[in-house]
């Protein structure tokens, strides 16, 4: 619009200047012609006045003067006529220039009207295009927003449905761990209590040994007392009757009747058999003898009888009981004094008995032995539960792998959506926005157009192997493979050093926890 007004103003100025030039030239031409005419008339009148005054002069002089005057007038007339001709030529040129200027002014006026009309059309087209673009962009944004919201809602529901089984698995896993921790603490407390009971019971047993010495002279009473001691030792060790041990377990065989006083089950068809019918009559008689020689004789006979009883136990086939394998046979002695007296007479009795798969045990030895067996049963139960936890962990890793695949698909979909949005923004900025800005500049409006920004952040890619690899390859993440319950049970005859290993290990674990 400003250029139009400037063009019109320049045209008007040019036309005005041209008209002024033409009028000046016309005035100069008229003035020259008038001056020439006046001069000619003046000369002529002067000549007539001179001629009348010089009538009296000589005719030749007057004629010569007249001819000179005429010649001069003619010359001046010719000069005036030339000036008039030049003035007419200049006037014609000025008229032609004025016509050209008027024609140019007319064309400028016509062009200005055409420009104004074109500007009106451009303005109308711009307003129509802006309205169409706004309508199209609003529709596109609404469609994209609705589609994105629907997709996000659908993926959220799918993710929640995918996570529900995993949450249930984790809950079961935590419950198992809490239960195992409670059982471990209860077992530690039970162990402390039973150790205290063992100490108390040992002291009580030593005090009652003398009181029972007379009653033990009778084989029937001695057998019942031995069985009672064995049962109490097993119960104090945390073993369960008819599950981990049985008393008076007898079976008829081809060689006769086998009746061990106690059978301690180890699992997998293995067992320990305990015999409490030790020949202690000679020991009791030695204690009551007042003569030292007689006492030594009874003690010597006691050592020999105990060795003979070891041979008898070694010859009994306890392994034939229900097709079980007898790990070894325990010869139970009622007190530490009984074992000490036997070892005093037979220092090699322990070695002799071990060579025949027989172990000499007092209450102080039998209770830790049974305690170790009880701990092996508990370790077997813990191993079974640990196997269950391992299975839960494997299932968890399997579901993590499935979830990782779904999460990867969600991330790729989000990346595709961001890429499409950025392409839309790029097209808008490089094509639509450039044209819209041209319309705005032609209209002269200072209003800024909206410029959407491209998205730079993309979904984070999954890098954890647990979420990308097959769930079967992630089982190792649960932890090392736990041994089966059978592998935790004793598979060999324990030595004297092994009898207290489980108790020491339990104390160490309790200190760590």
How many angstroms from the chain centroid is the CA of residue 189? 41
Q: From 467, 501, 410, 489, select the one nearest 159 (Cα to Cα).
A: 410
- CA 89 – CA 83 distance, rounded (Å): 10
- Contact status, residue 326 vs residue 318, Cβ threshold 8 Å: yes
User: In a structure prediction context, what are the per-residue pLDDT tens digits for the chain, which is 513 residues long?
Assistant: 555 455 555 555 565 655 555 566 656 656 566 666 667 766 776 676 666 666 656 666 666 776 777 778 778 778 877 877 887 888 888 788 888 877 887 887 888 888 788 888 878 877 887 877 777 777 777 777 778 778 778 877 777 777 777 778 878 878 888 888 888 888 888 888 888 887 887 777 667 666 655 555 555 556 666 677 777 777 777 776 655 566 666 655 555 556 777 777 776 667 788 887 777 777 777 777 778 888 888 888 888 888 888 888 887 766 655 555 667 888 888 778 888 888 888 888 888 888 888 888 888 888 888 888 888 878 878 888 888 888 888 888 788 778 877 777 887 888 788 788 778 777 777 777 777 777 777 766 656 666 666 666 666 666 666 555 543 443 333 334 444 434 434 444 444 444 334 444 444 434 433
- Contact status, residue 117 vs residue 69, Cβ threshold 8 Å: no
Structure tokens at 108: 């400028």
Helix (H) or strand (E) holding 425: helix 363-427
Q: From 311, 345, 360, 294, select the one nearest 496 (Cα to Cα).
A: 360
329 dihedral zone (left: phi>0; alpha: psi -120 to 50; beta): beta
Structure tokens at 295: 């006492």
Helix (H) or strand (E) holding 325: strand 325-332
How many angstroms from the chain centroid is the CA of residue 277? 69
CA angle 46/64/69 to nearest 5° reads 35
- DSSP-based three-state secondary structure for 258: strand
Q: How many CB atoms sit inside 10 A of residue 120's CB? A: 10
- CA distance readout (Å), 449 to 121, 140, 212, 256: 21, 18, 110, 111
Tell me the angle at which helices 363-427 and 501-512 cross, rounded to the nearest 10 degrees.
40
Helix (H) or strand (E) holding 270: strand 270-275
Q: How many CB atoms sit inside 10 A of residue 11's CB? A: 19
Q: From 135, 134, 115, 137, select the one nearest 442 (Cα to Cα).
A: 115
Please report the pLDDT score of residue 428 as a whole number. Answer: 74
3-state helix, strand, coil in the chain (%, to 5): 75, 5, 15
- Contact status, residue 316 vs residue 251, Cβ threshold 8 Å: no
- CA 412 – CA 407 distance, rounded (Å): 9
SS3 per residue for 329-391: EEEECCCHHHHHHHHHHCCCHHHHHHHCCEEEECHHHHHHHHHHHHHHHHHHHHHHHHHHHHH
Task: Please state whether the predicted TM-score (pTM) of the whole model is above 0.95.
Answer: no
Please report the pLDDT score of residue 408 as a whole number. Answer: 78
- DSSP-based three-state secondary structure for 75: helix
Instruction: List 328's β-bridge partners, or say none.
Output: 272
Instruction: List 270's β-bridge partners, or say none.
Output: 267, 325
Look-up of token digits 């001709």: 85
- Give the phi and the psi of residue 281 in degrees, each rounded to 5: -60, -40
For 433, residues 6+ apart whose C-beta sits below 8 A from its C-beta are 449, 451
- DSSP-based three-state secondary structure for 217: helix
- CA 53 – CA 47 distance, rounded (Å): 10
The torsion angle over the Cα atoms of residues 280, 281, 287 and 292, rounded to 10 degrees, is -110
- CA 371 – CA 239 distance, rounded (Å): 8
* Cα-trace Rg, the chain: 67
């Amino acid at each position: 619009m400003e250029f139009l007004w400037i063009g019109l103003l320049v045209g008007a100025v040019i036309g005005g200047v041209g008209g002024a030039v033409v009028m000046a030239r016309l005035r100069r031409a008229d003035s020259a012609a008038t001056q020439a005419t006046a001069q000619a008339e003046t000369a002529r009148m002067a000549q007539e006045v001179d001629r009348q005054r010089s009538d009296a002069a000589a005719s030749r002089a007057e004629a010569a003067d007249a001819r000179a005057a005429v010649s001069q007038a003619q010359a001046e007339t010719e000069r005036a006529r030339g000036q008039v001709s030049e003035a007419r030529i200049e006037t014609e040129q000025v008229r032609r220039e004025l016509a050209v200027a008027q024609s140019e002014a007319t064309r400028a006026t016509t062009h200005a009207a055409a420009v104004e009309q074109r500007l009106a059309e451009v303005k109308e087209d711009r307003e129509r295009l802006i309205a169409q673009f706004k309508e199209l962009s609003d529709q596109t944004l609404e469609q994209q927003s609705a589609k994105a919201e629907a997709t996000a809602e659908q993926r959220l529901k799918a993710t929640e449905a995918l996570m529900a089984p995993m949450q249930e698995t984790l809950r079961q896993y935590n419950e198992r761990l809490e239960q195992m921790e409670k059982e471990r603490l209860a077992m530690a407390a039970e162990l402390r209590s039973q150790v205290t009971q063992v100490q108390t019971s040992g002291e009580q047993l030593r005090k009652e040994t003398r009181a029972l010495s007379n009653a033990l002279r009778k084989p029937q009473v001695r057998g019942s007392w031995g069985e009672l001691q064995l049962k109490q030792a097993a119960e104090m060790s945390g073993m369960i009757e008819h599950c981990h041990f049985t008393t008076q377990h007898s079976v008829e065989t081809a060689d006769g009747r086998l009746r061990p006083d106690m059978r301690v089950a180890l699992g997998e068809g293995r067992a320990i058999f305990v015999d409490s019918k030790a020949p202690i009559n000679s020991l009791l008689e030695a204690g009551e003898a007042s003569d030292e020689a007689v006492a030594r004789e009874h003690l010597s006979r006691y050592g020999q009888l105990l060795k003979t009883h070891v041979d008898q136990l070694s010859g009994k086939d306890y392994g034939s009981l229900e097709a079980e394998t007898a790990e070894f046979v325990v010869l139970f002695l009622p007190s530490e004094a009984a074992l000490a007296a036997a070892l005093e007479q037979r220092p090699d009795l322990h070695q002799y008995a071990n060579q025949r798969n027989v172990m000499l045990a007092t209450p102080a030895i039998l209770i830790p032995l049974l305690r170790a067996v009880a701990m092996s049963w508990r370790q077997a139960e813990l191993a079974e539960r640990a196997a269950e936890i391992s299975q839960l962990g494997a299932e968890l890793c399997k579901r993590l792998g499935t979830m990782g695949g779904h999460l990867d698909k969600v991330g790729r979909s989000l990346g595709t959506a961001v890429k499409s949005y950025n392409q839309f923004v790029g097209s808008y900025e490089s094509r639509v926005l450039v044209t819209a800005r041209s319309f705005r500049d032609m209209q002269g409006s200072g209003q800024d157009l909206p410029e959407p920004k491209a998205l730079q952040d993309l979904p984070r890619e999954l890098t954890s192997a647990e979420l990308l690899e097959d769930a079967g390859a992630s089982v190792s993440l649960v932890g090392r493979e736990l041994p089966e319950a059978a592998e935790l049970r004793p598979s060999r005859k324990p030595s004297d050093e092994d009898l207290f290993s489980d108790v020491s290990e339990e104390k160490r674990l309790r200190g760590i926890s």
